[in-house]
Amino acid sequence: MLHKVVCVTLPGLGPFEFGLICEVFGMDRSEHGGPSFDFHVTAAEPGPIRTKLGFDIIVTEDLSAAGDADLIAISAYEAGEAIHPEILRVVREAEARGAWVLSVCSGAFVLAAAGILNGRRSTTHWMYTDALARACPLTEVDPDVLFVEDRRVVTGAGTAAGIDAALHIVRKELGASAANVIARRMVVPPQRDGGQSQFIQEPVAEFRSDSFAAVTDWMLRNLDQEFTVDHLARRSLMSPRTFARRFRADLGTTPTAWLNRQRLLRAQQLLEETGLSLAEIAASTGFGAAAVMRHHFLKVLQTTPTAYRRTFGSRRAG
């Protein structure tokens, strides 16, 4: 169970990335049916911590709070600054006992220095991926994705992708409903896949975004139907090839992958909040058969629908 979260600060702290960790894990959402974490902000040497923008934040807790944390979160910082050895110890011990470890943006360099990225996939801000690969040649750095999870070590890409990485951990531990409560309060999308692109290669004309907003809204209202790219392209008044290319440029993934993820999210919600049978949920979300839905749960969530309902459905009802 994800309960105690410790954010470790370093000199050269990135204020935005630090703020998003505080926003996801430090706010009490219980009034709206969301989680409330035992949240701590710590430093190897408590006191003023300089930020990238030149102002200081005052941290009063030392690293002793990290000894039994369920999650250690490392914000962005000025990569290249010396890393206190006690921070590296805390990260190594957290990974060794099976706790979650999260880095946002350049925070991945702390994980690399601690040695816990060796043999794992990882990412960071696209500007730093080459440097991370040089600093840690035993990790496979993916330069294009929003975040990577590899055996409870989550590395987030630049800036706002840290929100996606943090919500991913909440979703894995507490279920889709808990993550959705936090996302609604933050006014951000409840789910962007880790495999989506970090950035759009070309500027997107306004009419393209409007067009895809209309077609994706329609898809969400009709998840139980069968879709083809040809059908969706006709609704968007584009050729199938143009539709597929522009959809990926706009949303960072293919139409099929986007649709399957929305179906999975809807199925998670129904498993948590209703008593519908697996067959009924599979039909209403467009998977068609319970066996197909089970395949997607295993592929993406590494669990079955029955196990997911057992874990999160009873918790939601409670």
CA torsion angle for 117, 297, 264, 229 (degrees, to 10)? 90
The strand pairing partners of 121, in sequence order, are 140
Local structure of residue 311 (DSSP, 8 states): I
Cβ contact 156:166 at 8 Å: yes
Q: Can you give the pLDDT at residue 192? A: 64
List, as one string, the DSSP characters of 163-196: HHHHHHHHHHHH-HHHHHHHHHHHTS-S---TTS
Q: Which residues of the chain have pLDDT under 50?
A: 200-209, 316-318
Q: What distance in Å separates the CA atoms of residue 138 and residue 301, rounded to the nearest whole number?
A: 26
**CATH class held by domain 257-317:** mainly alpha
**Residue pair 273/316 in contact by the 8 Å Cβ criterion:** yes
pLDDT for 187 equals: 82
Residue 207 has a pLDDT of 36
CATH classification for the domain delimited by 4-186, as one of 2.60.120.590, 3.40.50.300, 3.40.50.620, 3.40.50.880? 3.40.50.880
- Asked whether 60 and 51 are in contact (CB, 8 A), the reply is no
pLDDT at 100: 98
pLDDT at 301: 84
Are the C-beta atoms of residues 101 and 93 closer than 8 Å to each other? no
Integer Cα distance of 139 and 293 in angstroms: 32
Residue with tokens 């991913």: 168
Q: What is the CA radius of gyration of the chain?
A: 20
Which pLDDT belongs to residue 200?
Answer: 44
